[in-house]
Amino acid sequence: MAALYVGVSAADPSDYWFWVVIMLFIIFDRIEIGSTTVLGRAMRRTGERSYSIYLLQCASIKAVAAVLYDGAALSVVSAVPWLRRFGVWVLLVFASYALSLLLASVLNVLVLKPV
């Protein structure tokens, strides 16, 4: 999309795309997150569980949505102001991901590590 702003057409299979992709590979190859920091360790542990998180995401969204939408937060969705609905939706996203991460961490220790 950024290339369209500088005049390079997306349908143009010219050499610009090749050099841009090579440049992006070089830039992202230089990015390094140290595993000694708390953020680095958290990202590494989350990355190790990413496929398990992906598999558990649907079930966790359904469980968290049942609590948030059917519970006291949004009894009748259309009657609630949009800002509160948006806030509950953001809470749903973060809570379901946190639940998936928690379940994936437990399942990886109990099921995948022994294998």
User: How do residues 41-51 score in pLDDT, each as one tens digit?
Assistant: 777 777 777 77
The three-class DSSP label of residue 110 is helix
More confident residue, 50 or 73: 50
DSSP H helix total and E strand total for the chain: 5, 0
Find where tokens 């958290």 sit. Answer: 42
Q: For helices 50-70 and 38-48, give the axis angle rounded to 10 degrees.
A: 90
pLDDT mean over 35-40: 77
Beta carbons within 10 angstroms of residue 61's beta carbon: 17
Q: What percent of the chain has pLDDT over 90?
A: 4
- How confident is the prediction for the chain on average, in pLDDT? 77
Q: Assign residue 7 a region: left if phi > 0, alpha if psi is -120 to 50, beta otherwise? A: left
Q: Is the predicted pLDDT of residue 63 greater than 80, yes or no?
A: yes
Tokens 């009748």: give the residue.
Answer: 76
Whether the full predicted model's pTM is greater than 0.85, yes or no, is: no
Look at residue 95 in the predicted model and tell me its pLDDT: 92
